[in-house]
Amino acid sequence: MSALLFARPPRIVVASGYLVGMGNQPLLIDGEWIAASADADFFNASAPATGESLPEQFPVSPWSQLDHLLTSAARDARELAQTSPVQLASFLEAYADAIVTHTDELATLASRESGLPADARFVQVEIPRTLKQLRDAAACARDQNWRQPVIDTTANLRTQLEPLAKPILVMGPNNFPFAYNGIAGGDFAAAIATGHAVIAKAHPAHPGTTQRLAELAHEAATTTGLPSATVQLFYHCSNEDGLRLASDPRLGAIGFTGGEKAGRAIKAAADATGTPAYFEMSGVNPVGILPGALRERPTEIARAFCESSLLGVGQFCTNPGLVLTTDSAGLDRYLERVRATFAEHTSGPMLTAALPRELDDAVQGLLDAGATLVARGPAPSADGFYPRPAVLRVDARTYLADPARFQREMFGPASLLVVARDADELRTVYEHLDASLTGSLYSAADGNDDALYDELVARLAPRVGRLLNDKMPTGVAVSPAMMHGGPFPAGGHPGFTAVGMPASLRRFGALRCYDHVRPHRLPPTLQDRSPFPALWRCIDGTWTLGPVPANDR
């Protein structure tokens, strides 16, 4: 997944004469919309469909403003940690209601900044998903199931997850202006539901959309009586200041969705001060097509692959970037369908000007390494950030000579097909897979692939967060059963997910033990007569598993 870190965009000098409201945009700090400092640099977002710079200017914040954000959030963190779960839930629900009221306006803003369709992408899909995340988080805040209380009455010991009592820094990617937005997405919802202030960083690809969301969030926070620094927003900063922010000990945790290069730099900065940081950085999401499945339904699988790879201009963290199969019956028919689809596909615009160039460079890099071109989409005929879709092919022997080189993510509508001579060579390919968010396996319906499947899945499963059968990986359901993460560097930690509640809330919890604490001093969730069921309870030496929380059923 491609994303800017904190690198300063080129300064754009804007001529006078823009409409009122189109000038320099303020930041949300400690409950106030504050203008940038007089000597600040500014950047403009772009319209991907035309390539034109949009008129609004957004500030590149100096350290003094980042420090102000941190100081304000740290001040309110303790109060938020003690805030009623009902009040936190009320904020999330009020915010969701405000987004509903302004759906058309928000969708239009996001379409302008992303080039993605306002109705088909935002109104019908991404905004409803965002609303579900906010409301699911509100439900988790109310029933407190994220805390996982454990009560041992025999030893008079009790533990549960509690807020970190420090603010959370949330950074969203370029490809989801709502569902992963720093001030509206899943990380934001999880942080608020667990009682934390959020410092949100906008992505430079959609700052206007993020600003409008911040206005709605601020209004909801004010209405529901939350502290002034509960939600704060900045748009950009220098690399140096951004990494300084990530390493500041006043932070409780970091939630980051974006590219691996940026994620690794943030992780190193956070590790220096022991700040928990949770990442979702993608990978190539391998799709294995076993010989029996290839013989049985090559055209059907090819159609599913093309739809998945080209959906949303390939700008998904679960895009199928690597397809693994054997040189067996059905391969020609599979390639025929893929070749025809990609060669004729006219792509929509990508999110930023750099992305089509980066895709071209990635394709050329694979060609230089020994891959061959299966198909390439037509060259764009319009201005804007338009890519050429691509499918490449390489034999397994060449691939195995340098697996890392062939597993570099191509963000966009592009994928590499690795063809093994036989099942033995295919097994070796699977031994050299890097970490990814997902791994898919297509197998024959008649069971002919089952033995090979068992061997391959033993190699694949430890390398991915989500395992799929007979299904392409694009798309992440908002469900308590979802795992959206994986081994590093696809994710930050294989035990945590960025999607699915209450599991995603637990990332922002500190495990705290109460040892012989007097009953009236215990938190409500750990009292013997608590209205919240304990996950585990021990009475007279016998451990009992409590009721399954409603959101986990």
Residue of 318, 317, 91 lying closest to 184 (CA atoms): 91
CB atoms within 10 A of CB 516: 8
Catalytic residue among 280, 296, 409, 425: 280
Spatial CB neighbours of 330, under 8 Å, sequence gap ≥ 6: 294, 295, 296, 297, 298
What's the rounded Cα separation, in Å, for the pair 347 and 345? 6
Question: Does residue 317 carry a catalytic annotation?
Answer: yes
What's the rounded Cα separation, in Å, for the pair 433 and 279? 20
Catalytic residue among 113, 260, 317, 409: 317
Task: Judge whether 286 and 462 are in contact, CB under 8 Å.
Answer: no
Amino acid residing at 76: D
What's the rounded Cα separation, in Å, for the pair 375 and 206? 32
Q: Do you know the residue count of the chain?
A: 553
What's the rounded Cα separation, in Å, for the pair 540 and 534? 16
What's the rounded Cα separation, in Å, for the pair 208 and 187? 20
What's the rounded Cα separation, in Å, for the pair 107 and 316? 19
Question: Does residue 307 carry a catalytic annotation?
Answer: no
**Dihedral, 65, 205, 184, 280 alpha carbons, nearest 10:** -100
CA 481 centroid distance within chain:
16
60: left (phi over 0), alpha (psi -120 to 50) or beta: beta
Structure tokens at 71: 């100081």
CB atoms within 10 A of CB 483: 23
Task: Judge whether 160 and 195 are in contact, CB under 8 Å.
Answer: no
Spatial CB neighbours of 14, under 8 Å, sequence gap ≥ 6: 42, 44, 55, 57
What's the rounded Cα separation, in Å, for the pair 321 and 305? 10
CB atoms within 10 A of CB 40: 17
Task: Judge whether 150 and 533 are in contact, CB under 8 Å.
Answer: no
b/e sequence 94-124, b meaning 16+ C-beta within 10 Å? bbbebbeebbeebbebbbbbbbbbbeebbbe
Tokens 């900065």, residue located: 269
* Active-site annotation, residues: 280, 317
